[in-house]
Structure 1
């Protein structure tokens, strides 16, 4: 049985899931819900190809480079484009994800501070210590090595999967098909919404930074067979990613009226906030939102850092 699917492959699959499904996923129902049912259908059809093929191509890009083992994407870029252009691309790559890392670190601190403020007074000193603690803990995980980082991300994914699955099933009792069937128009506005919704979907599923670490790990273990192993793990991981996230999105859109989704979009909050806005929503949704946000953003922080 281990020859078909090993424990190691299972761990890597969950690590990919953990870095792909994060904070961006919580905003995906907001964008697709305000765009309409036709946009949701089109996005669902292209979700798997636009997740699998670009990340597979990036793995091939890294593994095909004739560089020393373990160098990763920076060495591959230098190999293909030369040192000067390679350093420029690497610098831009670093800046792009450095900004993302800073945003997630600040967002985690804000989420924790918001929760602590309900139980104690948050002064500037307490907030500074909280920020320091967040950065130290996340970077300590990273400094423990690539394998530990992958294991931690694989572990963090379980509560997130459980939360998405629980919420998706919990909302089934409130499904109202007219929330989607009333938005079946196909016109110029729909095409515009497709144009702006697909990038949101791509960003929600993107986990480019971890691909370098993932490809190197497979190369060190399997050599010339690494690409085959990457494709095998990616196909399973992305099928689970697309199926679970799209089920979550559809369940939210069938249960939440468009007015609440539009309010959440205008306020720039997640779909969990839209759920908590609804009359009669349980109090635990507010706490769940904090926990899910912290877990999702922690994974999103570790992904670019380890990449």
Structure 2
């Protein structure tokens, strides 16, 4: 079942050649899905490997982001069913048994991230209440319940309300990222350049940095719902419009996020970046200590709250759609009752994780990583050679490029886990 069936926002006769408010709303939604709390650790995780690996990954980030998400969107739109979601498409192209396995893995790649965001959202707001407002810590059960219920209520209000909320929260996020990046410019210094050039070390550093780059810009969780919305809105013209929106989303992501990353990295020495990585703190926390800046200290919780909230909404969109698709295949519930059951299940799971604040969330994220890389990079490229309707993309440079990057990302993640 498509998540958005019954939502009256279709406009089959819409002109796909002109950019409009609908397109802007979805661009901001995809941007918000990608920019989660991980952005606060991205400068350290990538910058600690050295300046030149950072430059090379910055050059690769744009093509990786656009080509990979375009490939997944093409895959979703390749279905012969007009209202197909990801679950329907994988079963159509890979068979029922394999398709259901992929669908389960897809859900399991998104759902643990929702649990992480539930915990992160609660911790961020609790810390703000205690440290910034000077109040006593509220009941964690009540606080987490209110926050999770509030986020889910946005999704239940419908697609139009969800897109409006994304507009409200993503603009401040982009503005704050740009403002903070500019604020750090006076403290920039030339990076330390080594006289020796070790190609082996550079290759290893780049290899291990690929997964960080993949997930820093990933908005795969929202792609299926996004592609379905464009099909309803633009009909047969959905594919070119989808690619146009994804291209502008990628440009927006690369512009704001990489400017933030470079600004942070150029404000710190290599020793400081390694120290921050060892301390496992966010870049804002470390910068606040180094610069003794109350401005940065005050921005930290705000950026974290907005980033987690926007990414929570995007990942809930994907988790809800994929869970509905799985339940549809296994139960005889009506679509409405099935959707309610899925929402209740996810609410209590996210709320429970937020209350318990478990330490195993890092393992959950590590479990999601390889699956996301396989579904976003590898699986759509395999489909290009398996699905007849996608054969036009065979022998394209982007197909080989994304498949190669996907395999490198998966191998690097497995290497780090071992």
Task: Normalising by structure 2, report the TM-score.
Answer: 0.69
- 1:68, CA displacement in angstroms? 4.1
- 1:38, CA displacement in angstroms? 1.2
- 1:303, CA displacement in angstroms? 1.1
1:281 matched to 2:310: no
- 1:33, CA displacement in angstroms? 1.5
For residues 37-82 of structure 1, what are the alpha-carbon distances to aligned partners after superposition, in whole Å with 9 as ceiling and x for unaligned?
A: 110111011111100111001111111111242x311111111122
The equivalences for 1:22-33 within 5 A come to 22-33=36-47
- 1:22, CA displacement in angstroms? 2.2
Which position in structure 1 is the counterpart of 2:115? 102
CA contact (8 A) 1:171 1:252 kept: yes
Residues 265 and 47 of structure 1: CA distance in aligned 2, closer, same or farther (over 3 Å): same
Which position in structure 2 is the counterpart of 1:255? 267
2 CA distance for matches of 1:129 and 1:51?
38
1:222 matched to 2:234: yes
Which position in structure 2 is the counterpart of 1:83? 96
2 CA distance for matches of 1:151 and 1:227?
23
What do you get for the CA RMSD once the two structures are aligned? 1.9
Runs (5+) with no aligned partner, structure 1: none
Q: Which moved more, 1:25-34 or 1:114-123?
A: 114-123
2 CA distance for matches of 1:11 and 1:159?
14
Paired residue for 1:203, among 184, 202, 215? 215
1:164 matched to 2:177: yes
Runs (5+) with no aligned partner, structure 2: 1-15, 319-418
For residues 167-186 of structure 1, what are the alpha-carbon distances to aligned partners after superposition, in whole Å with 9 as ceiling and x for unaligned?
A: 11111111111x35459844
1:112 matched to 2:112: no
Which position in structure 2 is the counterpart of 1:235? 247
Number of residues of Structure 1 aligned to a counterpart in Structure 2: 302
1 CA distance for matches of 2:195 and 2:161?
46
1 CA distance for matches of 2:96 and 2:156?
27
2 CA distance for matches of 1:303 and 1:182?
41
Paired residue for 2:26, among 3, 12, 22? 12
Q: Which moved more, 1:215-224 or 1:5-14?
A: 5-14
The structure whose RCO (Cα within 8 Å, separation 6+) is larger is 1
- 1:214, CA displacement in angstroms? 0.9
1 CA distance for matches of 2:66 and 2:212?
16
1:49 matched to 2:63: yes
2 CA distance for matches of 1:242 and 1:186?
28
Residues 130 and 184 of structure 1: CA distance in aligned 2, closer, same or farther (over 3 Å): farther
Task: Normalising by structure 1, report the TM-score.
Answer: 0.93
* SS in structure 2 of the partner of residue 35 of structure 1: coil
2 CA distance for matches of 1:194 and 1:276?
28
* SS in structure 2 of the partner of residue 120 of structure 1: coil
CA contact (8 A) 2:82 2:231 kept: no
2 CA distance for matches of 1:184 and 1:63?
49
1:131 matched to 2:131: no
CA contact (8 A) 1:210 1:306 kept: yes
Which position in structure 1 is the counterpart of 2:156? 143
Which position in structure 1 is the counterpart of 2:302? 291
Which position in structure 1 is the counterpart of 2:80? 66
- 1:86, CA displacement in angstroms? 1.7
CA contact (8 A) 1:33 1:261 kept: yes
- 1:237, CA displacement in angstroms? 1.6
1 CA distance for matches of 2:78 and 2:31?
24
For residues 203-248 of structure 1, what are the alpha-carbon distances to aligned partners after superposition, in whole Å with 9 as ceiling and x for unaligned?
A: 0000101111110110001111100001111112211211221111
1 CA distance for matches of 2:267 and 2:251?
24
Residues 141 and 233 of structure 1: CA distance in aligned 2, closer, same or farther (over 3 Å): same
1 CA distance for matches of 2:192 and 2:259?
14
Which position in structure 2 is the counterpart of 1:244? 256
